[in-house]
Structure 1
């Protein structure tokens, strides 16, 4: 299903998007050396509940997971890049932590992810990986607009990542989003310009460049959810939800007070 949202629904999406971004930034600010991933899940649940919203993850049970997910936020550490199931683990100095959060409020969902180094510093390679995903996301957003094709967005993302020297997994990427978290169209992190679905105003997309340092192959944890790099290398993941407008794309998952 591909949804085209009306202006009133896009206005609701701005509220949901800001909530997602605010929660991610709040958790980032509290996640220090010694913080347990289960604490992060609890904090997230409390903030979602206080906002009168719902996590898209608690009852999430797709064919590729061992569902339902049963938690409120995805927490990936170091080599865990996607669908990180919160577990009893205390963060260490220099860990690369990825937080991925999708929330629905007033019937409209938003999805975003951030990666950062616990304690504020870590290996230069980790800093470079995070930077590459952020630059790729910016390139994808710049390529999105009315009459652009999904392939244009995918190509822009993939070009940044491959130029930075990273292999790209094509199994998991971005996606449409609206009244539900995961919708068509699929947005791979590599593609051919001029191909695929034509974007139009009212379409919402979650764009999510993610990389692994030296492989494109994933392995699944025994928990049935957490996806890790096959080689044990570090990973990074950055995501925004955007809305296609008449003249470009609007980022919906910006923290309160930072929207242009």
Structure 2
């Protein structure tokens, strides 16, 4: 959810803060894993929200999105042409939908943020499945660039190389971001860029990398609900995100089991 709330540059986290972010990330990953297993045709978006609430309570974390800048739910559910920030409704998932789930967790005040997309059901739509797979590959490519003194442009360039190779539309109006003390910390981390340019990130910083791609040109618009971001051309989109700790020589993905 790239709504800005602070101008502070991403701070280097202390060992205790990193420990809390590891717990936060594992909780978040557990919730998303439960959602992945649960979603099938006939399940509603509100059913997913209720599941997320139950799982989060049982695992001991607190929701970050609920009431954030007025957002009315604990999770974002975005389907087909909805890129991000979809508000859960009573609409049921259909066979072949591309559904994205974006979630944030706080533990001892430390925040993690993660998202994934999936094709619902067993429909064999190669174009949709490829979009989902390649967008996740773009996330992995961005993570692989991380190390002490990496530049933001290096991350964006790695993400865009993967998406450009498959001729997908890169959503340029939305970005990754620093995360930890707040849901959104500086700097912005676009999904495109020039290697060797942009702010320098240091070991101990935590960032959310989140490629968003579409089968169209990547242009987006805001829906009438004031939150849901949709592709302007109505094309299907996909979104993946991990919260990652930068280390001296690489990165540690915090939002994984």
| TM-score normalised per structure 2 | 0.94
- The answer for the alignment partner of 2:3 in structure 1 is none
Structure 2 residue corresponding to 1:208, chosen from 197, 207, 210: 210
Cα deviation 1:47-102 (Å, max 9, x = unaligned) = 222233221111111xxxxxx11101110111111101111201111111100111
Which aligned segments of 4 or more residues in structure 1 are displaced greater than 2 angstroms? 49-52
Which stretch of structure 1 is more off in the superposition, 179-188 or 52-61?
52-61
- The answer for the alignment partner of 2:114 in structure 1 is 112
- The answer for the alignment partner of 2:37 in structure 1 is 29
* Cα distance in 2 for residues equivalent to 1:183 and 1:122: 39
The 8 Å contact of residues 219 and 230 in structure 1, kept in 2 or not, is answered as yes
Shift in Å, 1:122: 3.9
What are the equivalent positions in structure 2 for 1:98-177 lying under 5 Å apart? 98-177=100-179
SS at match of 1:33: coil
Q: For structure 1, which runs of at least 5 residues remain unmatched after alignment?
A: 62-67, 256-260
The 8 Å contact of residues 173 and 220 in structure 2, kept in 1 or not, is answered as no
SS at match of 1:48: helix
What are the equivalent positions in structure 2 for 1:56-135 lying under 5 Å apart? 56-61=64-69, 68-135=70-137
Shift in Å, 1:12: 1.1
* Cα distance in 1 for residues equivalent to 2:35 and 2:182: 24
CA root-mean-square deviation: 1.1
Shift in Å, 1:42: 1.1
Shift in Å, 1:109: 0.7
* Cα distance in 2 for residues equivalent to 1:179 and 1:45: 22
Shift in Å, 1:197: 1.3
* Cα distance in 2 for residues equivalent to 1:139 and 1:212: 18
Q: Does 1:224 align with 2:226?
A: yes
Equivalenced residue count is 249
- The answer for the alignment partner of 2:183 in structure 1 is 181
